[in-house]
Amino acid sequence: QVQLVESGGGLVQPGGSLRLSCAASGMNFRIAVMGWYRQAPGKQRELVATITTVGITNYAESVKGRFTISRDNAKNTVYLQMNNAKPEDSAVYYCNGRYGSATFWGQGTQVTVSS
């Protein structure tokens, strides 16, 4: 019943910008910690950014100053604004939500940074 649906992925040039969205349904979004993770071919899935129920954010060191996570509780949506994209940002980006002992994942959206 719980669904996290990512959108906004695609091809972007190095130095360009992209905004990912994750729409949640079937879950209590307002009490969930939300996050973005990514996985590149041959690499482990890594945390990109998280945002708590009260809007406190944390970022991977590699994206600090370039990416911004935000949430709109009225729309049950979490965003990832990606600025100054780099080729090493290329990966499948996954939306994550957790509350209590439950963790939920979206199916992912591909981001490719290339000229």
Residue-wise pLDDT for 55-68, tens only, equals: 999 999 999 999 99
**pLDDT tens sequence across 85-108:** 999 999 999 999 999 899 999 999
Give the C-alpha separation, 86 to 61, whole Å. Answer: 14
Burial 3-36 (b: 16+ CB within 10 A, else e): ebebebbeebeeeeebebbbbbeebebeebebbb
* 8: pLDDT strictly greater than 90: yes
**pLDDT tens sequence across 20-57:** 999 999 999 999 999 999 999 999 999 999 999 999 99
Average pLDDT of the chain, as a whole number: 97
